């Protein structure tokens, strides 16, 4: 896939292009609060500033919302863990605090609370059958604990690992290769022009695109490979015991599988593509360092025209 053809220029003076480049650099560095000044003259410069500010505001909102949701989920997991510990110790008076938003996280707390109430009733009614009921209770708590662990580590939309869990997996693998002479690679990719897909088809179709991309990517991975949703349309793959060449080949298969997908909604259709970066973890390298390298490689793929895989040269030991 080649670069987009573009014509024309941004404004007539030298001011805005330089400001726009600086603003885009800040945006790439994670600064979503910067805004271009507006003249409200509705000329080319003002229009560019308007659209950049709108994009920056939406990105800032999405990042803030994602962070709030992550914090809220983290708090809920802590509350669930405390409740499970209390239940395991025989205290069935505990309840998980709810915020009554009615979303899946609140429903989960509601279900856990109902489960705790049901367990308390079982214990109250089982005085005559203490031994048998104790065994059933332990089994039920164990099942509920496994279910909660799955829910807490799974991205609700795509069914793959959520950001929290994939980063835990990545950290665990980095610790393992620090102890043993094994190779470890990461791949990071995101969906090209995903905002345009949302704008053109609507967010429900955008959600469908995320599910399709996740399923297509998983179909190309091995059992030991782990994939998670790193951000809105960003995904992270962990390749244990895999060379850089091997990880790049698998990532290329992922790219091709996704490109083969079709997105159709009525009279509108689009091709889904991704830009990906691949890097091998160097001896003694931290997780944050390798994530920065693989993220930079992904942006190089975008800058080179998208729909491609860029691999980072292995660092010297």
Q: Which two tokens stand for residue 17?
A: 């292009």
Helix (H) or strand (E) holding 86, with range, is: helix 44-88
Q: Which two tokens stand for residue 147?
A: 């279910």
pLDDT value, residue 14 = 47
pLDDT value, residue 157 = 95
Whole-model pTM over 0.95: no
Domains of the chain by residue range: 14-153, 163-311
Cβ burial, residue 93 (10 Å; 0-12/13-18/19+): exposed
pLDDT value, residue 5 = 37
Residues with catalytic function: 233
Output Rg (C-alpha) for the chain, integer angstroms.
Answer: 24
pLDDT value, residue 13 = 44
Number of other CB atoms surrounding residue 80 within 10 Å = 21
Coil vs helix vs strand at 102: coil
DSSP tag of 127: G
pLDDT value, residue 6 = 34
Report the chain (317 residues): mean pLDDT per 10 consecutive residues: 38 60 78 81 83 82 78 76 79 80 78 83 73 71 77 92 96 93 95 91 91 96 95 96 96 97 76 96 93 96 96 78
The C-alpha atoms of residue 17 and residue 33 are separated, in whole angstroms, by 19
Considering the segment(s) 163-311 as one domain, its CATH architecture is 2-Layer Sandwich (3.30)
The C-alpha atoms of residue 221 and residue 250 are separated, in whole angstroms, by 7
The C-alpha atoms of residue 294 and residue 285 are separated, in whole angstroms, by 13
DSSP tag of 154: B
Q: Which stretches does DSSP call E strand in 172-295?
A: 184-191, 226-229, 234-240, 262-265, 268-271, 274-280
């Amino acid at each position: 896939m080649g670069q987009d053809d573009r014509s024309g220029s941004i404004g007539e003076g030298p001011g805005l292009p330089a400001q726009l480049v600086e603003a885009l650099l800040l945006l790439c560095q994670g600064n979503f609060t910067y805004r271009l000044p507006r003249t409200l003259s509705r000329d080319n410069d003002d229009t560019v500033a308007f659209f950049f500010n709108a994009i920056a505001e939406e990105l800032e909102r999405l990042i803030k919302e994602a962070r709030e949701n992550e914090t809220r989920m983290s708090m809920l997991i802590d509350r669930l863990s405390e409740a499970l510990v209390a239940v395991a110790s025989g205290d069935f008076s505990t309840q998980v605090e709810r915020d009554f938003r009615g979303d899946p996280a609140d429903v989960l707390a509601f279900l856990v609370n109902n489960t705790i109430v049901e367990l308390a009733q079982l214990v109250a009614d089982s005085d005559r059958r203490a031994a048998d009921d104790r065994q059933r209770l332990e089994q039920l708590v164990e099942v509920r604990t496994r279910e909660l662990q799955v829910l807490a580590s799974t991205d609700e939309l795509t069914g793959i690992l959520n950001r929290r869990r994939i980063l835990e997996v990545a950290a665990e693998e980095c610790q393992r290769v620090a102890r043993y002479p094994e190779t470890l690679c990461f791949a990071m990719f995101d969906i090209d022009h995903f905002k345009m897909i949302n704008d053109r088809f609507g967010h429900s179709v955008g959600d469908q695109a995320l599910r399709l991309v996740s399923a297509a990517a998983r179909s190309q991975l091995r059992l030991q490979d782990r994939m998670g949703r790193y951000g809105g349309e960003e995904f992270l793959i962990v390749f244990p015991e895999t060379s850089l060449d091997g990880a790049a080949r698998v990532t290329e298969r992922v790219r091709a599988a996704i490109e083969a997908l079709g997105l159709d909604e009525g009279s509108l259709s689009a091709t889904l593509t991704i830009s990906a970066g691949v890097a091998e973890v160097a001896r003694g390298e931290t997780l944050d360092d390798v994530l920065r390298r693989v993220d930079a490689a992904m942006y190089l793929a975008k800058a080179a025209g998208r729909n491609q895989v860029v691999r980072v040269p292995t660092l010297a030991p």
